[in-house]
Structure 1
Amino acid sequence: MRCKALLRHAFFWSLGLFVGLSPMAFAEAVSPQEQIQIHASRATSSLMLLRGEGFQKTHQQRLEADLAALAGAMQSLPQGSAELTIAHQALVTQLRNGVSYGPGDENVPWRFPEDLSRALRDFLSTARALPGAEGQSELAAKVEYLSVQYLSRSYLGTFEIAREQPGTYLGQDERLLLPAIDSELQALKDQSDPQVTKLQTRWSYLRAALADMNSQSNTLQSVSGRPFAPITVDRHARSMTAQWMAMF
Structure 2
Amino acid sequence: MVDDIPIQAGELLPLLAKYRLLPKLKQELIIDQAIADIHLTAAQQEQAQQQFLAKYQISEPEAQQAYLNYYGLTGDQLVEIADREARIEIYKQQTWGHKLESIFLTQRSQLDIVTYSLIRTNSAEVVQELYFRIKDGEQSFTEVASTYSEGPEAQTGGLLGPTPLHNLHPSIAQHLLIAKPGQIQPPISIDKWYILLRLEQKQAAVLDDVMRQSLLGQLFQQWLEQQLRMQPSPD
Specify the TM-score bucket, using the shorter chain as the normaliser.
under 0.3
Report the structure number with the largest CA radius of gyration. Answer: 2
Give the structure-1-normalised TM-score.
0.24
Give the structure-2-normalised TM-score.
0.25
Higher strand fraction: Structure 1 or Structure 2?
2
